[in-house]
A and B are shown apart, each in its own frame.
Chain A
């Protein structure tokens, strides 16, 4: 089954404790992206990647890092999480940068205390 998976689905952590949210797709997609969803703000793009070893900042990249060492994986790293990073995070992928459809993962709900 074609899908985008994220782990963990739920995470509660404390300020300053490094964490990684994994994202994996099995569709051989070139383009992958991370979004955060906050009430009243919709989805905002954090980082995106057009292919292996090619990443760039989205609209709200501060406090986040990403890597793209393999085509299928695009982890989101929070080196020193803060409470304002409490949010719902979505990973998405599409075949390439011109493809009209993005496929979304199920989301990761992160709480930073």
Chain B
């Protein structure tokens, strides 16, 4: 079955880069996502990458996908205090319906 793993916590200083890592098990993934959850709020889609891509850049965000190792990472450049949140990795597998499996979430703490 599908399994998505992330480390639970990451602490960085304001202005540094943050790298949040994720591993997944299902080789039939079609999309891989990063969602952001701010305190008391729902999940907001940050970015996504097709499984046939290696990298995607969107302003301060860089997503790297190593399909061979089933490893996904999210790099946030020049991390700000407003980036403090929980970040969820998720994979969507191919099949009859939109099965999306979420990781456990990584809580990013940005120290001023």
Q: What size tier do the contact residues of chain B reach?
A: 20 to 34
Contact B42 A43 (CB under 8 A): no
* A62 sits at the interface (CB 8 A): no
Our pick among A50, A56, A104, A107 for the contact of B44 (Cβ within 8 Å) is A104
For the residues of A in contact with B, the DSSP-based class is: strand
In the complex, A71→B48 CA distance in Å?
27
Q: In the complex, what residue of chain A is closest to B2 when comparing beta carbons?
A: A59
- Whole-angstrom distance between the Cβ of B106 and the nearest chain A Cβ: 10
Residue pair B88, A107 in contact (C-beta under 8 Å): no
* In the complex, B24 has a CB within 8 A of chain A: no
List A residues 83-104 near B (Cβ within 8 Å).
Answer: 90, 92, 94, 97-102, 104
Which residue of A31, A42, A97, A102 has the most chain B CB atoms within 10 A of its CB atom? A42
B8 touches A43 (CB 8 A): no
Q: Is A48 an interface residue (CB 8 A)?
A: yes
Q: Is B59 an interface residue (CB 8 A)?
A: no
Q: Known contacts A48-B97, A50-B97, A100-B92: does B44 contact A42 (CB below 8 Å)? A: no
Distance between A58 CB and nearest chain B CB, rounded to angstroms: 9
Residue of B nearest to A104 (CB): B42
Beyond A45-B100, A104-B43, list 17 extra A-B contacts (CB 8 Å).
A31-B98, A35-B102, A42-B4, A42-B102, A42-B104, A43-B43, A43-B102, A48-B97, A90-B42, A90-B43, A98-B98, A101-B45, A101-B48, A102-B45, A104-B42, A105-B42, A107-B40
